[in-house]
Amino acid sequence: MNRLPVIRFEQRTLPALLAAVARRLPDRPFIRWLDPAAPEAAPRVIGFGAFAAGVGRAAAFLRSQGVGPGDRVLLVAENSPEWQLLSLGAQLLRAEPAALFASLAAEQAEAIARRVRPRVLFASTRAQWRKLLPAAGALREAGLAAVVCAEPLEQADLASGVRGFLLADAVGERAGGLAEGELERLAAAVTPEDPFLLLFTSGTTGRPKGVRLPQRAIVAAIDGGAGACGTTERDLGVHFLPFAHVAGHDQFFLALAQGHGLAMVARREDIERAFGFGPTYLFSVPLVYDRIRLAAQAKLAALPGPLARLAAAAVEAAARVRVDGSRSPRDRLLARLADLLVGRALRRRMGGRLRVLFAGGAPAAPVLFRFFEGLRIPFVELYGMTETAGLISSNLLDGRRRPGAVGLVSPDHEVRVDADGELLLRGPLLLSGYLEPADAEGAFTPDGYFRTGDLARIEDDGTLRVEGRKKHLLVLSTGKKLAPEPVEQALAAVSPFEGAVLLGDGRPFVAAAVFVAREELARLAAEGQDVAAVLLERSRAALAGFAEFERPRRLLVIPGAPQDHPGLVTPTLKIRRDAVARYLGASLGAVWDRT
């Protein structure tokens, strides 16, 4: 079976990679930071040497607060350079950093903080710390010694015996650092089995699991990334995926290991500003790319009628030529027109130097692949999960890519597909364990393979295709079985649908909950149209390639986009099926009661 090419880094821990790049490229810019708190300010540029010095200051501070092997440092904060200074500072001391999504509600954040039992806690703002105030006493009893915050904290906000520190005093240039040569000595003592990070699964169902990742896993992941992505130290990437998500670390540490630069933002709305640096690549969740696609298509649709139709036809022809291999003279002529009308403008909008888009964190609909590849912008999808440090397989920048495929499996995984279609893995990319050992129950086969929960198949040439989550498989009362994800992706790729959830386990047919922009719903109503009938017709047209039993017979409309309903999505914007079912309530059951 063909396997993913890898490029092995000489150093096998992140602290060792940090020390090596700081020696090799001390003055090269690493991070160009667009601070959301100062949107009008010039970006802060941090070189590799300065970044390593900051990690040394963070390690010195954490050590002064009693942090050492076996302790935890909890980070409840939006992305920033300081986030990684504290995380790597903890790793230098062989302690375990733990990451929480900054967007978590107070109740969720507090519950996880109690489970982590940190020695030191970093909260980016007073508001983030106040989420945890109800647990302050319990955290102190469990060993909390210090809270670091970018904003001043009142002593009244801190439990007795817990000290508050300004972030600038802990890791800023006025803070004390390590002695000369000490960073290298500490880095050399870190082993591949020492902690990298404690991450929490997104919690689409049930309590988020605490996943403990060792150094060996993240370094093996960036070995694979270096082979698949084709990036070098000359590249500049846009970084905004949250550090509470493993993919955010995969990109960050591949850049650090290779010595290439990052334009770093903490908010999606600042990505446009980052384009001003002329990045060579983006790494994002598919949602961001779909918004770019839809914005481009909206501009085409606003052209005068004949030109709009010509432009749309040109984009479709470009996909036929560059994805399907069409050699039709008409298609090839239209494909060149698509480059002129759309491709060039899209590249200019994204800085003018863009050479590739990397997608991960969620499945990408084939329509995204066809759109960007048709416009000569390589679209490289990666597949992984928290428990595998973000890497299972990847397509190749310099190699064949196909829509709906997630590429070749890393050679660091032993793989097999179980009798029921579930992908099983074993190897050095796997977690070292869960925070609560009970979470490992049923996670592994008797011979040590990890159960991914994904239904997959491996083609003859080694290409992996993931066809849905095993726990999401719908079994109709007719005996038919279907994975809902391909249907949902196809629906979400077609206007006016902005997201979809297929429902119908144990029922005679499937229905779909669809998210539709409020403006579109208002427009249809104002025109006197039967909204439900129009949308159902559009959904079935979009799914013409699916079997009849896979196409929904009823729609339940949820106004707005998924992200407009925080209770229905995870922090990574995956739709929570159980939450959607609760939201729909009695109206869901009525779908089948009417038949």
Please name the amino acid found at residue 417: V
Task: Assess whether pLDDT exceeds 70 at residue 400.
Answer: yes
588 occurs within a structural domain: yes
pLDDT in the model for residue 594: 63
Query: What average pLDDT does this structure show over 232-255?
Result: 96
- If one counts every other C-beta atom within 10 angstroms of the C-beta of residue 35, the result is 16
- Number of folded domains that form the chain: 2
Of the pLDDT bands very low, low, confident and very high (cuts 50, 70, 90), residue 520 is: confident
For residue 318, give the DSSP letter: H
Residues 6+ apart with CB under 8 A from 529: none
pLDDT in the model for residue 205: 53
75 occurs within a structural domain: yes
pLDDT in the model for residue 206: 64
Q: Pinpoint the alpha helices (H) of 259-355.
A: 271-275, 286-301, 305-322, 329-338, 344-349
For residue 448, give the DSSP letter: S
Where a domain ends, among 257, 284, 311? 284
Where a domain ends, among 284, 305, 320? 284
Pick from 276-280, 316-320, 539-543: least confident = 539-543
Q: Between these two residues, 37 and 206, which has the higher pLDDT value?
A: 37
Containing domain of residue 559, as a range? 473-593
Mean pLDDT across the chain, nearest whole number?
92
Q: Between these two residues, 294 and 210, which has the higher pLDDT value?
A: 210
* Per-residue model confidence as pLDDT tens digits over 24-73: 999 999 999 999 988 888 899 999 999 999 999 999 999 999 999 999 99
Pick from 260-274, 338-352, 516-530: least confident = 516-530
Task: Assess whether pLDDT exceeds 90 at residue 357.
Answer: yes
- Side-chain half-sphere of 57: how many Cα atoms within 13 Å? 20
Where a domain ends, among 256, 284, 312? 284
Q: Across 21-35, 298-312, 360-374, 400-414, which has the greatest mean pLDDT?
A: 21-35
pLDDT in the model for residue 336: 96
CA distances, 489 to each of 459, 467, 521 (Å): 22, 11, 21
580 occurs within a structural domain: yes
The Cα–Cα gap between 144 and 161 comes to: 9
∠558-560-563 over CA atoms, to 5°?
105
511: CATH: 3.30.300.30
Chain centre distance of CA 374: 24
Task: Assess whether pLDDT exceeds 80 at residue 593.
Answer: no
449 occurs within a structural domain: no
Could you please report the per-residue DSSP string of 77-95?
A: S---HHHHHHHHHHHHTT-
Pick from 51-55, 352-356, 417-421, 536-540: least confident = 536-540
355 occurs within a structural domain: no
Task: Assess whether pLDDT exceeds 70 at residue 191.
Answer: yes
The Cα–Cα gap between 258 and 238 comes to: 15
145: CATH: 3.40.50.980
Task: Assess whether pLDDT exceeds 90 at residue 519.
Answer: no
Q: Across 362-371, 449-458, 519-528, which has the greatest mean pLDDT?
A: 449-458
pLDDT in the model for residue 595: 52
% residues pLDDT > 70 (the chain): 99
* Per-residue model confidence as pLDDT tens digits over 106-121: 999 999 999 999 999 9
Question: Which H/E stretch holds residue 524?
Answer: helix 518-526
pLDDT in the model for residue 10: 97
Q: Between these two residues, 544 and 57, which has the higher pLDDT value?
A: 57
190 occurs within a structural domain: yes
% residues pLDDT > 90 (the chain): 71
Task: Assess whether pLDDT exceeds 80 at residue 571.
Answer: no
3-state secondary structure of 192: coil
∠19-24-26 over CA atoms, to 5°?
80
Dihedral sign, CA of 81, 87, 89, 91?
Answer: negative
- Looking up tokens 């479709």 gives 316
262 occurs within a structural domain: yes
Dihedral sign, CA of 320, 324, 330, 332?
Answer: positive
Tokens for 137, please give them. Answer: 């006493």
466 occurs within a structural domain: no
